[in-house]
Structure 1
Amino acid sequence: MENTISPDNDDKTVISKKGINLEINQKASNLIGKCFSQRYLIESQIGAGGMSDVYRAVDLTLKDAGIEDAFVAIKVLQKQFSEMKDAQKILINEALQTQKLSHPNIIRVYDIKSDGNYHFMVMEWLDGESLDQVINSSKPVGTPFVKTKKIIDQIGSALNYAHQEGLIHTDLKPSNIFLTRKGNIKIFDFGVSKLLNEDEDNEYVLQNNDQDTALNGHTPAYASFEQLNGDSPTQQDDVFSFACIIYELLSSKHPYKRTAANKVNKSSFTLVKPKNISLSHWSVLKRGLAINKAERLNTIDELVTPFSSKVSTKILAGALLLAVVGYSANAFYQQSTEIEKLTSTISEYDQETKTFNSYGSLPASEFLAKADEIKESNFLIAQALFRQHHDELITLYDEKIQNAPKLSNNKFKDYAKVNTILAEAFTYYPDSFRLKEIQKQQETSRETTINAIVEKLDQLLIQGRYSEAGDNNIKNLFSDLSLLLLPGEEYVATEKAFALFQRKFNLAIDKKDFKTLDELIRVGDIAFYNYPEADKVIASSKKMASAVNALAKYAADYKKSPENAVYPHEEATLFYKKEINDMSEELSKARNYNAYIAVGRKINRFAQQFPKDFQPIIDLKRQEASDFFAYSNRLMEIRSFIRAKNLINRGNAILKELDGE
């Protein structure tokens, strides 16, 4: 997020390119009510900077998921910069640089996106106020020292971490630092940050020399002498900016009255000590504010440590000794309890130091193995060690992932195990850019493997190659695929593949091709079980398989012992349903004597394979007799008495047979 909306343009970061001044004073576009990427609904504008405006937005995806606090901050390039590649580059650089930094006091950047001509960055929503608001609200006496120390500790921790990662902020100022309602500091706006030892980018040059106009991505009131002169960035640049901020917090005034460092008259200007700090603290802060680099503190640690809320053990022990020597005998006895408390405190600090040093000397792998144990005994030490071992532990997790075990088929990496390793790593480093890259690489590898298997399966099923072996064995391919798919993922065959399966299935039923039918049942069970229209086909195929098995068993039993074999009536009814229905339809369509005689003979031959009590055949024969009688009446009407008598005799014979006479 950027500066709070204000008519005052002091201290804005302005980046100028050759021949183009990017500080264009135009009224910000009204984006309230606009929805970016069909997800981020803009609610209100909360900030404005030199190139971008910041809005509060509702993340509709999170809101739909039932999350109450579904707010994000959206940083949008102003309209006049939306088509400038350099402006887009700065926004992208800010997102990428910030995503690389995983620290509780550095703002989280979720994504960088475009929607039409709008280019924007999605960040975590912060509820609170920027440090320039804190400073303004504390005028004229400054922020209390105790509150300032807590702020210093957090800013120092974040800057130390960024410097360890090789990144210099280069534009540190109160408006780029946020204090949440819970007292947590968040640093943002890494759009013009620089890598240590990075060659100067000659693309950006000085455009104007106004007192509070940014130069090369710096804000003059907070930029070091070296930055203003165009030197390569160093940690001492951030030290100077941070020292200016500390001074402003303590006094609510700028140490150099907002004069740029390269314009300060060092021979006549005298820094004034803030009233609410000690001389020892002031001596350190002055060294942070030194115009000359040679006189300035080298690191953030050197600036922050004296302000730390913890008193060093040596200082505390010295103070205790002086107190003891200065007391009279009576005072000593009266204060013995206090001395014991101080001694106990010293002992505790000594123990913490020893504990930290002992754990800190452990190799990253051993520390990780004891991480939970350390967190339980001393959470703060554990957090410090996780920061100390950041790069080593990320590398260790990367190695674990690269060496993850193979799946049971010994072909592919166990991606479920990989996800478990990543989940553990993200608990320690939730915003690690490197971890996210590793996760993306592993997911890409898994998806590539899955796509290769799916393409092969689609080809085999579309071509009806159900019985191939080796690398083209469908059952083995599905087995491999099941090992790679995560919960909620599944394979769905193409419509073309399913249509071919249906045709082959119906043809196998018609031909009573038991071998093909059995093969289709197996394929359908693994390839089409989840297909939207496959339920009936699969259910029918399984019933047919059961019928085939029952009839085969009956045939085997009958061959061994005819009197003990039990005919499977239900299964036979299913299996022969089509043939019986076809013959019933032929009877219904017969229109002459010869047709009836032909159908009757066909039924007689077909019926010989069934027991006499097989109901579908009984029903078919009763229909045959009834149709014979009906047509014989028609023959008698046309005086074809011989043929009529023949059909009547055939019909009576059928009925006698059915009645057991």
Structure 2
Amino acid sequence: MDANDTILDDSTQTHNPGFQPQGERDQDAPESPRHKRLGLVLNGRYRIVSLIASGGMSDVYKAVDQNLEKSGSRDSLVALKILRTSLTRDPGARSLLAREAAKSKRLSHPNIIRIHDLNHDGDTWFLVMEMLEGEPLSRIIQRAKPNGLKWKGCVAVLRQVAEALEYSHSQGIVHADLKPSNIFFTREGRIKLLDFGVSRALQAQQPEDYLNPRTEDETSIYGYTPAYASPELIDGKDPSPQDDLYALACISYELLSSRHPFDRQKLSLEELGSYKLKKPKSMPHRFWRVVKRNLRYDPRYSSLELLQRRMEPLRWQPWAASVLVIAAAVGASFLWHQQYTRAMAAEQALAEKDEHQANISRILGLPPEQLLQEVDTLPSLERNGILRQQSGSLLEWYLSQINGILVGGRSGQELPDIPAALDLLTEAQRVYPRDHQLAELETRIVRRRQSLEAALGDELTTRLDEGDYRSQQAWEDVTELTRDLQLIGAAPAAPSEQATEQFDQQLTEALDSDNDAALARLLILGEQLFADQPGVAEKLTRAASMESSIKELGTYYAAIANGNDQAVFPAKAAEDFYADRFERWRDEIANAGSRDQLDKVYEEMIAVLNRLPPSFEPLADIRQQLSDAYLAMADSMLTRNRTRQAQPLLSRARELMRAP
């Protein structure tokens, strides 16, 4: 395999004109027209050099660790995975990034990418990762078409992937989204697995290829990539090591044939069992037998140890040599073949029995969380026996985990994550459906949610009836109460008629005055609470048509309100938002026949000037046009000796020209 490509190729960069960066910009770095983050320095340490790849949740950049650079280190390059701006205020997205960091930092293995740190600069959240050079396995597969790789090159890759999975499974972590684009081949010939556990946590979020631009055949749904996800994963069941083995079997097949074994179809367990599979030409028979069973999702062959053993050449046994000598001596080649086949079958059956018993012993020695994941791979009789035998420790573990969720609550909050606790309780009741401790705990949790829902709902109703969203703090109080109700799994009650009328009035005022800051707050609040209220929906639709510009301006105003004087004004968003109003002003100035008509434009423009930087070019042009119109009207009056009437017009023109 030849790894000539590199992830440092700047041709993968993209430009996002709506992006609002945090941090300080390196004064010596040139401004790139292709992406506004280039040259940015996060936390005074990480200087962004180029964009590597973009995904649904985040962008990945090549960066220089200036601390390492100053210390004279030869390797000061890192990769930064930065959460998309639209998700920075989403607690779920931030906690997903934190979970990815926590999972990956637990995995210290030469074939798994290293995560150094999780950090943030203002609202910009990012992971600091090992910088890799090379290419994903998906590109190697593309280059090997139509015949695929030779076995020697393929097995060198598979051994390293299997070693990484063996280690991660021993740490209780299932990859759950193993695919060619998540397997990276470095220039040194080492395999690195990427995105451990991310797809499972994403659920319905749009997933991404880590350090690799998304390709059409890698489209993922529901957090998994259907071409490599087992039927159990696609059906929503919890990931298990067997799911990683299924994906590894698909990848093995594709490496050696350049084709997916099921032509990328999403099949049920029954369809997998009947699908006609043909062995890739260069795949050894002994390896194919295990790969084929894993492609059928057969739990009897879901042993990574067995798969690894079949990757290695078959060792020659002394008794086999004796059989050959006897067969050659008597000329009974057919008899030898029968004896050899029977001996191999007996050896395989004995090995499978030993492996099964060893697997049972291994499962019994696992911690509760791993035991529960792997016990489902056993036949029902053995599964039920283990669950009965381990009921005391497993129930204790479930109760401890649920109580931990209820006590821990959300970061920075005292509220418990009741939906998460109930989800885990449902899982426990599926395993032990008649346990009285679980039933009593469910009753207590439901009562607690009802009590919290009543208290939070009453407080939200009071705030909505007050109906003042003009200040940032009042708006944050209401949105925080709404998020708290969602956290405990409750829906806010419908706003009262009084609350709806006040919201409708403020939304109308904001729309009529093009108040971008107020619209940004009201649009979010309206989508959460007032979207179904009569008379409001049409105005929200009108506001939503300007949603992108409103949200960018809203982010800017929030940053300024929080004391961030480094926030960059989103000029393009402001220009789009005020485009219609600016065009109307130009027409009214050009067609004005009286001072009153010019004064009307002036008064509207002064209100807008309070929300926009004086140097905003489109507004500066209109200010100049209005000043010229005042001067022209004053000149006309002076020629008619109407000096007193011309004086206010001249003063207004001078005032406009003096504005910065």
Fold shared by both chains (TM-score > 0.5): no
Larger Cα Rg: Structure 1 or Structure 2?
1
Shorter-chain TM-score tier? 0.3 to 0.5
